Amino acid sequence: MSDNFLALAKQRRTIYALGKDLPVTEEVVIETIKEAIRQAPSAFNSQSSRALILLGKEHVKFWELTREQLRKIVPQESFKATSDKLDGFAAAAGSVLFFEDQEVVKGLQEQFAAYADNFPVWSEHSTGIAQYAVWLALAEKGIGANLQHYNPLVDADVQRSWDIPANWKLRGHMNFGSIVAPAGEKAFMDDDKRFVVAR
């Protein structure tokens, strides 16, 4: 089993060249995302992770909203490069927007006051684990993905457009789709700079 997991971990890469031809049905993708998030561990089993799954025109709409927000802050002379990048994201089949429910975090802070300062940190751990779980699950289905962070720039638009509760804090958005072109070679830093082993 461990060999299978590590093989899948190696298979999961940041894929930027994505298309709309998913190798499985949208229903399978939706259930895969939901189950990956359900199974992702969280501090005190808080289950603080939330998700908005966008497909088709709703996915494209998200990137159009992002484009309009970026148009306000990116200099006009360099906006084309930014816009082209967003076109690449919009070319994917869909996206998952990951949130953390701040009511859950605050509730835990009140219930376990001794750990109050830790719960926001542990919430960030929860979303990271949920994002990685979804990424691995999509990779296992032969679906490519990349993770982006245009929050908090797009938060208000997302909340308004999809009726997202105010207590959901956007933490990242993952595009997914068919793999049009694979990722390049991945370089790794030397182990002696990264790991300490004590026996």
Summarised one tens digit per residue, pLDDT across range 137-157 is 999 999 999 999 999 999 999
CATH of the domain at 87: 3.40.109.10
Q: Is there a domain that residue 190 lies in?
A: no
Residue 98, CA distances (Å) to 37, 49, 76, 174, 192 in order: 10, 7, 30, 8, 34
Q: Is there a domain that residue 191 lies in?
A: no
Contact 53, 145 (CB under 8 A): no
For residue 28, the enclosing domain spans: 21-181
Q: Which residues neighbour 173 within 8 Å (Cβ) at sequence distance 6 or greater?
A: 62, 95, 96, 97, 98, 147, 148, 149, 150, 151
Contact 7, 108 (CB under 8 A): no
For the chain, the domain total comes to 1
Per residue in 52-88, pLDDT tens?
999 999 999 999 999 999 999 999 999 999 999 999 9
Structure tokens at 125: 């751990």
pTM for this structure?
0.96
Residue 8: name the closest of 140, 103, 120 by CA. 140
